[in-house]
Structures are given as C-alpha cells and as structure tokens.
Structure 1
C-alpha cells in the first residue's frame, strides 16, 4: 500500500516527500556506485516524488552507462552536508521517469524500513534481474 513519506538531508536544506509501498520491496545492488555508497533504495515512479525545498542546495553527479550516449542517472547530493537523499533517472524499460530514494533519508520510517523486503540486484554484471552470489556486504 502506498504511503507518503517525508525525507531530508542531514542539515535539512533539502526536503522532499514521496509515495512508496515499502512492503512491495526495496533494493540493494552490487554495482560500483551502489555498493560503495551503501545505496539501499525504493523507487518512486512518475509524480510519486516531490521536492519540497532545496533545489538550489543540490549538486548533481551524472552517470552515463558505457552503452549510452547521455546520462541516465542523476545522483543528487546536498552541497552543504554532502548527504545523497535521492537519485533521478529515466529508463524506458522501467516506465520512464523514476526517483530512487535513499531509505536512510526518510524521516520517521524506521519501522516500515525494518519490515520491508529487500531484493538484491547483480548490477556489477548488468544483470539486474538476478541476485548476486554474495549479498552480506550490501
């Protein structure tokens, strides 16, 4: 069931809300970005993500796949405190625009996060439908 969550960076400059169904699952990936940043995420598609304040406080690291010519992921972080509250992307196979929300940036969602199932993805081998052999470090 969709629930509206509020989230923020550490210093509070960036604030957002999003509609997520955490009981439908969250994900962790072993690609170099996700594993190095411990990116535990849930996806908000289309208009299910709303930036409430702090657009001017965001910096954008753009990632381009080796097989793409333009950036497909924008990893945003707060210029003041350095926290990465969400990423934005667009993939046809994923239904268009989406936001990947860092679960650690959701405010007052500990109970829902603790109960949420986790799906592991083998992004290191571009096989996002499969679980990697080792997940304990993710």
Structure 2
C-alpha cells in the first residue's frame, strides 16, 4: 500500500489516499463522467482510506438521478477531485489527475459502462 497526496488546482482542497499502486485508470461513460472527462482510480476507497486534510468547507456536492453518487467540486477552482460511488455508497473513486506523482497520460485506461447503472 502507498500513500498518495492530492489536491484541486488552486490548493484549497487537499487530501490523501492509502492505495495499492496506481498503474491504470478508469474512464466511465455515464452522463456526468462523459462531460467531466476525468480519469478515475481503478480502486474504490473506504472513508478511512480517503482523508480530506484541508478545505472540506471548500467542496461543493452535486447529485443527480438516484442521488446515491456524490460528486465533489472545489468551490474556488471548479476541479473535481473525487466522488462517492453509486455502486458502493460512501466509498470513493479519485480523479488521478489530482494526485501527486501520477501521470494520467501514461496509465492504461479501462472503460466502465456506467450508462447501464
């Protein structure tokens, strides 16, 4: 397991995750993921594994459809650092572009069929 540190673009939101090494990313085809275009971690993190170190008050939450998934955005810069999943409520996937030391363009990409959920 490895600790990764992450943040939004402006640095108002900082967090860390404990994760297996990130060697791939997941791209989802659901309506919001298509529009935001983020590459997400292949792993799903428990609330114990994702710790918001600062800026929790700078996060805005967007929900739609069933309202189960929660998509978090920085109120200052608009970056989308993570979301709580629909399939496992309360658990998170993280935008790999927000993680220090991870190069999203060098990762193998898996596709998740979120349209069918």
TM-score by length of 2: 0.84
Hey, what's the Cα distance between the residues in 2 that align with 1:60 and 1:97?
A: 13
Comparing both structures, which one devotes a greater share of its residues to helix? 1
The count of residues paired between Structure 1 and Structure 2 equals 114
Q: Given the alignment of the two structures, is residue 123 of structure 1 paired with residue 111 of structure 2, yes or no?
A: no
- Runs of 4+ residues over 2 Å off in structure 1: 113-118
Stretches of structure 1 that go unaligned for 5 or more consecutive residues are: 66-70, 127-138
Say which structure is richer in strand.
1
Does 2:4 match 1:5? yes
RMSD (Å) for aligned C-alpha atoms: 1.9
Shift of 1:90: 5.8
Say which one has the larger Rg: 1
Q: How far apart are residue 20 of structure 1 and its match?
A: 2.2
Aligned residue in 2 for 1:109? 102
**Rounded Cα–Cα distance in structure 1 between residues aligned with 2:40 and 2:27:** 7
Matching residue within 84, 88, 112 for 2:84 = 88
For residues 99 and 59 of structure 2, what CA distance do their matches in structure 1 show? 17
